């Protein structure tokens, strides 16, 4: 293993901002993995740390293919991680909305530019990310449908679902989108949790990357075959909106099977404690996303149901 300095920025009042990567093997740029881009992505940081640990063991055993390199960057935003703030502390900007960056621009644009320059030229790219809505997902691979996407290879991660969707204008400044535009086959992996550690889904995520690397013959590593994933489009996800504001008390959670008309959650009056609204499943299917906010707003999306999914 070799530590690589990805980017450094001096600071007037604290230690310099240093972004560090961990390189395994050498030669062709096979896969780069990026973890926490936002300051509250502790689960993503933890996943990368566990992946680094496993890759060290595999490299020591001679399990990385000759002329192949793998790199893991656990954290792109250590300043915000250190103070527990999701976005950049000074101006509340999101680094994952700044790619491909601008090296003469604002601070987060410069960080994105420095990181992205280093990330160009890799064949495969994986980003462990969090979603803009607070909540839990069934672990899955997510990719934007562009001319550069490779959904067929996403099967090799062995996760339960592969979700493809059309990119929106706001997506054009994300790492995943720009990786693809610059000829890297990029995937985003979402799991349970973000601000807290979930060891079970973290292990699932680490195994998914190792499984992919093994199937692409980048590493030699014996691992279970995982799942044959269900291929999804975002049009198959049925959103459930909160019909009132109040205390959110879920009945079903991520991964639970739901039947049409079944109670998903109750919304409680925060003053009187009575049930204001009962939310019911709009279709038979699987709970793909579940909100975890204790207080919710009216019209907020609190569940997503995979319509007509009856798998185990």
DSSP three-state, residue 101: coil
Q: Are residues 151 and 254 in the same domain?
A: no
Closest of 166, 115, 161 to residue 139, by C-alpha? 161
Q: Are residues 101 and 202 in the same domain?
A: yes
Buried b (16+ CB within 10 A) or exposed e, 176-189: bbbbbebebbbbbb
- Whose tokens are 């990181």? That residue is 115
Q: Are residues 66 and 214 in the same domain?
A: yes
Whether 85 maps to a domain, the answer reads yes
Quote the pTM value: 0.93
In Å, what is the CA distance from 157 to each residue of 14, 142, 217? 40, 11, 13
Give the single-character DSSP code of 235.
G
11 or 125, greater pLDDT: 125
Q: Are residues 221 and 242 in the same domain?
A: no
Contact 140, 160 (CB under 8 A): yes
Q: Are residues 223 and 249 in the same domain?
A: no
Q: Are residues 70 and 131 in the same domain?
A: yes
| Residue after which a domain boundary falls, among 228, 245, 268 | 228
Q: Are residues 222 and 301 in the same domain?
A: no
Tens of pLDDT, residue by residue over 226-255, are 999 999 998 999 999 999 999 999 999 999
The values of phi and psi at residue 215, to 5°, are -70, -30
171 or 90, greater pLDDT: 171
Distance in angstroms (rounded) separating the CA atoms of residues 95 and 206: 24
Closest of 66, 225, 200, 37 to residue 132, by C-alpha? 37
Whether 312 maps to a domain, the answer reads no
Give the model's confidence band at 311: pLDDT under 50 very low, under 70 low, under 90 confident, else very high. Answer: low
Q: Are residues 301 and 192 in the same domain?
A: no
| Amino acid 145: pLDDT | 87
* Burial tier of 214 (Cβ tally within 10 Å: 0-12, 13-18, 19+): middle
Here the tokens at position 202 are 């973290």
Helical segments of the chain, H only: 42-60, 78-83, 107-119, 151-154, 175-181, 199-215
Tens of pLDDT, residue by residue over 9-58, are 988 777 899 999 999 999 999 999 999 999 999 999 999 999 999 999 99
| Amino acid 66: pLDDT | 94
Contact 252, 277 (CB under 8 A): no
Q: What CATH number should be reported for the domain holding residue 204?
A: 3.40.630.10
Tens of pLDDT, residue by residue over 144-173, are 988 888 899 999 999 999 999 999 999 999
Q: What is the DSSP string of 160-173?
A: SEEEEEPPPGGGGG
Question: Beta strands of the chain (E only): which ranges?
Answer: 2-9, 17-26, 28-36, 68-75, 124-128, 135-137, 140-144, 161-165, 185-190, 230-233, 237-241, 246-250, 257-258, 263-268, 275-280, 285-291, 295-296, 301-307
Distance in angstroms (rounded) separating the CA atoms of residues 307 and 238: 7
| Residue after which a domain boundary falls, among 198, 228, 258 | 228
How many separate domains does the chain show?
2
312 or 244, greater pLDDT: 244
Distance in angstroms (rounded) separating the CA atoms of residues 299 and 279: 12
| Amino acid 297: pLDDT | 97
Give the list of residues 6+ apart from residue 312 with CB closer than 8 angstroms, or none: none
Whether 133 maps to a domain, the answer reads yes
82 or 263, greater pLDDT: 263
Q: Are residues 221 and 243 in the same domain?
A: no
| Amino acid 264: pLDDT | 98
| Residue after which a domain boundary falls, among 196, 228, 260 | 228
The range of the structural domain enclosing residue 155 comes to 2-228
Whether 249 maps to a domain, the answer reads yes
- Whose tokens are 């075959």? That residue is 225
Tens of pLDDT, residue by residue over 92-106, are 999 999 999 999 999
Distance in angstroms (rounded) separating the CA atoms of residues 74 and 68: 20
Q: What CATH number should be reported for the domain holding residue 298?
A: 2.40.50.100
Q: Are residues 158 and 288 in the same domain?
A: no
Whether 113 maps to a domain, the answer reads yes
Here the tokens at position 289 are 């996303």
Q: Are residues 259 and 202 in the same domain?
A: no
Q: Are residues 293 and 154 in the same domain?
A: no
């Amino acid at each position: 293993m070799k530590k690589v300095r990805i980017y450094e920025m001096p600071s007037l009042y604290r230690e310099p901002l240093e972004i560090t990567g961990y390189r395994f093997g050498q030669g062709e740029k096979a896969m780069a993995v990026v973890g926490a881009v936002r300051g509250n992505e502790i689960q993503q940081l933890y996943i990368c740390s566990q992946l680094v640990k496993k890759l060290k063991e595999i490299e020591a055993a001679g399990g990385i293919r000759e002329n192949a390199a793998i790199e893991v960057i656990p954290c792109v935003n250590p300043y915000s991680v250190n103070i527990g703030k999701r976005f950049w502390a000074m101006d509340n900007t999101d680094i994952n909305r700044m790619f491909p960056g601008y090296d003469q621009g604002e601070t987060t644009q410069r960080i994105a530019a420095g990181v992205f320059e280093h990330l160009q030229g890799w064949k495969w790219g994986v980003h462990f990310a969090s979603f803009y809505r607070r909540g839990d997902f069934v672990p899955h691979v997510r990719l934007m449908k562009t001319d550069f996407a490779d959904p067929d290879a996403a099967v090799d991660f062995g996760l339960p679902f592969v979700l493809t969707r059309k990119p929106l204008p706001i997506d054009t400044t994300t790492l995943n989108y720009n990786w693809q535009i610059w000829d890297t086959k990029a995937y985003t992996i979402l799991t349970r949790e973000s601000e807290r550690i979930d060891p079970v889904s973290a292990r699932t995520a680490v195994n998914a990357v190792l499984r992919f690397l093994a199937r692409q013959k980048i590493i030699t590593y014996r691992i279970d075959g995982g799942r044959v994933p269900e291929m999804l489009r975002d049009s198959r996800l049925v959103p459930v909106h909160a019909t009132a504001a109040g205390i959110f008390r879920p009945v079903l959670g991520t991964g639970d099977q739901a039947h049409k008309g079944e109670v998903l959650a109750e919304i409680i009056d925060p003053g009187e404690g009575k049930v204001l609204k009962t939310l019911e499943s709009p279709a038979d299917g699987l709970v793909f996303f579940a909100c975890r906010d204790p207080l919710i707003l009216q019209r907020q999306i609190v569940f997503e149901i995979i319509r007509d999914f009856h798998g185990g």
